[in-house]
Amino acid sequence: MSEEQENPQENRPIDLSKNQNPEPAPFQPLDQGPATPPPFQQPPPFQQPPPFGQFGGGGFGQQNLPNATASLVLGILAIPACCFYGIFGVIFGVIAWILGAGDMKKYQLNPGLYTESSYKNAKAGKICGMIATILSVLFIVIVVLMIAGAITNPQMFDNFIKGLK
């Protein structure tokens, strides 16, 4: 529409006669215009988050975060699991931490899509996983120190253990 006015060189009739090229350019009807772009389509409107106050069970079209429950359960199980040299505590805690953090990111990218209660669960799972990981790592450090002590200086280590009892 307005493109014909913007580049008038293409439709100038003098161009054809003065053109060094013997073959005339193929005739283009004026009404079509040169390669008009397709009509601009508006992107779909941004999904608005639903009105505040829709807790529990989710609002319309909302779903729970996929790993919130798993993160919470693993985070809590990580504390009783710390018995076996803290290894299971670290595994459970780190998994809960990663799942919780991933779900928190997912929620922050698209807050309207997921329920707020599951976001809170994911957050709680992440924090529980962090605490359990810290505790288990502390215990593992103690175990490693004791093994190192037992290897390097067995006599002193025996006295140390006897002193503890």
Partner 1 sequence: MAQPHKSFLDWLGEHLFSCPFKTHFGIDCPGCGLQRSVLALFRGDLIASFKFYPATIPLIFLVIFTIVHLKVDFKFGAQLIKIVFAGVAVIILINYIYKIYTHQFI
- Binding residues for partner 1, rule: CB under 8 A, are 55-57, 69, 72-73, 75-76, 79-80, 82-85, 117, 120-121, 123-124, 127-128, 131-132, 135, 139, 143, 146, 161, 164-165
Query: Toward partner 1, which CB reaches closer, 33 or 69?
Result: 69
Nearer to partner 1 by C-beta: 83 or 156?
83
Residue 147 CB, nearest approach to partner 1 (Å)? 9
Distance CA(35)–CA(73), nearest Å, equals: 60
CB of 165 to partner 1, least distance (A): 5
Output 69 or 102, the one with its CB closest to partner 1: 69
Nearer to partner 1, 15 or 55 (CB): 55
Minimum CB separation of residue 110 from partner 1 in Å reads: 20
Nearest distance from residue 93's CB to partner 1, in Å?
11
Q: How far is the CB of 142 from partner 1 (least distance, A)?
A: 9
Rounded alpha-carbon distances, angstroms, from residue 14 to 4, 27, 94: 16, 14, 76
* Residue keyed to tokens 């253990």: 161
Run of H or E residues at 125 = helix 116-152
Q: Which is nearer to partner 1, 59 or 85 (CB)?
A: 85
**CA 78 to the chain's CA centroid:** 24
Q: What distances in angstroms separate CA 91 from CA 25, 67, 82, one per listed residue?
A: 73, 16, 9
Specify the 3-state DSSP secondary structure of 114: strand
For residue 63, the SS3 value is strand
> Looking up tokens 């008038």, which residue turns up?
8
